């Protein structure tokens, strides 16, 4: 496997992380892309990526890529790359079942000399403590003698057309110095931005998990400032714009913190910290603030409605946007659902419109029936929850036309001018 021609790569998981990776390697080496979602396989074979990370042309250019939902087709691979999700459960504990399942599948196929690289976001030590024992048990092989492991955390930003797989520096690591070199060289073939070789897998795991933890805490600070400034009667965005005139002030904004990364990854680190006897106070405090922002938005809207003499019970409220970020179809861990559930607790009637979201996924995951279109003069309150391009195009006039004569518009994204809305974060 010392020669490039010998690489036979298997990518396990073809989501927003695995598919671009499989496409990139499929332009250079024989690559098998595996996903257990049969519908996902069928759409990709037809040249369509519902996650919008890869174009039809990019899929077609990966001449050596084979898409499958059959694990056995990975039998002849000697490089396995695991890119499955790492969610949390209802108690905000790491749910490692996708990684465990992928490790079991790969372990059943391993032969001497193979390398398994994990890209899924985990806590420091997870590869060695959870994945390696599974690989050894299923394969009957010995780690660092018969097979090797690597770690190269994903850094994909869903919906971002500028920062792509190839243009983001890739962290790499291996279970032995030789493996680290081999993994680093492999990724350098497809990463134009270059690589950063960490000294160990645990360092690489830790580097990844703190990237989103740092961002989560920065947003939590701004969210807490928004809570304070609202009580002081000060507009948060005006304060941030004023403070932003200093060169080293970080340009964060208040808002909902969802998605599969920022709203999830910190819990992996805090889980491990508590496991070793340390209670992480700052990280969990930030999580509590961010997890409470959806309810806060709903309560602000209800209060504004009451002040405007709008009857809350049976009021019609429109939520613009359901995905976790703008111009992206990803619904995973969207915190817009917190606004919806809190509003419903006040007996309001809530409609949701999102031109980017998949209607069947919204119904399956959240029990929400998305609107097909918008009706004018129909709502007592409108909440701009996601700043999709379509909503930016509508502008204040277009959004105001959706409202009844006496109504409230609340803007969580500062999409509209302050003078055009009744409240904003």
What would the two tokens of residue 159 be? 């919906």
* Rounded Cα gap, residues 297 and 339, in angstroms: 7
Is residue 126 among the annotated active site residues?
A: no
Out of 126, 261, 328, 403, pick the active-site residue.
Answer: 261
Spatial contact of 184 and 195, defined as CB atoms under 8 Å apart: yes
Spatial contact of 33 and 19, defined as CB atoms under 8 Å apart: yes
Q: Which residues form the catalytic set?
A: 261
């Amino acid at each position: 496997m010392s020669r490039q021609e010998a690489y036979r790569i298997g990518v396990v998981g073809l989501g927003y992380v695995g598919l671009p990776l499989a496409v990139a390697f499929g332009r250079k080496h024989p690559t098998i892309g595996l996903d257990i979602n049969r519908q996902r396989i069928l759409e990709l074979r037809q040249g369509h990526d519902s996650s919008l990370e890869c174009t039809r042309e990019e899929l077609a250019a990966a001449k050596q890529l084979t898409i499958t939902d059959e694990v056995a087709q990975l039998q002849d691979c000697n490089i396995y790359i695991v890119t499955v999700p790492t969610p949390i459960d209802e108690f905000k504990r790491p749910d490692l079942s996708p990684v465990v399942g992928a490790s079991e599948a790969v372990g059943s196929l391993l032969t001497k000399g193979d390398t398994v690289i994990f890209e899924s976001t985990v806590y420091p030590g997870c590869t060695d403590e959870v994945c390696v024992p599974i690989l050894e048990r299923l394969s009957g092989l010995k780690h660092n003698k018969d097979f090797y492991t690597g770690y190269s955390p994903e850094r994909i930003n869903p919906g971002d057309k500028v920062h792509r797989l190839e243009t983001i520096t890739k962290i790499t690591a291996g279970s032995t110095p030789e493996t680290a070199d081999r993994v680093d060289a492999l990724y350098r073939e497809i990463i134009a931005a270059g690589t950063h070789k960490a000294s160990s897998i645990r360092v690489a795991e830790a580097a990844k998990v703190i990237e989103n933890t740092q961002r989560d805490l920065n947003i939590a600070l701004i969210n807490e400032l928004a809570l304070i400034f609202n009580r002081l009667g000060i507009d948060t965005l005006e304060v941030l714009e004023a403070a932003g005139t200093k060169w080293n002030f970080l340009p964060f904004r208040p808002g909902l913190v969802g998605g599969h990364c920022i709203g999830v990854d910190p819990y992996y680190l805090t889980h491990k910290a508590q496991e070793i006897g340390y209670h992480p106070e700052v990280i969990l405090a930030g999580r509590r603030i961010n997890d409470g922002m959806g309810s806060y938005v709903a309560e602000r809207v209800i209060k504004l409605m009451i002040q405007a003499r709008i009857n809350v019970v049976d009021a019609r409220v429109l939520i613009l946007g359901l995905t976790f970020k703008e111009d992206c179809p990803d619904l995973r861990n969207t915190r817009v659902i917190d606004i919806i559930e809190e509003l419903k607790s006040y007996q309001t009637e809530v409609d949701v419109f999102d031109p980017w979201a998949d209607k069947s996924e919204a119904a399956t995951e959240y029990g929400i029936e998305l609107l097909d279109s918008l009706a004018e003069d129909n709502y007592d309150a409108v909440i701009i929850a996601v700043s999709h391009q379509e909503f930016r195009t509508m502008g204040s006039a277009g959004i105001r036309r959706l409202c009844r004569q006496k109504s409230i518009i609340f803007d969580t994204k500062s999409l509209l001018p302050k003078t055009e809305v009744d409240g904003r974060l």
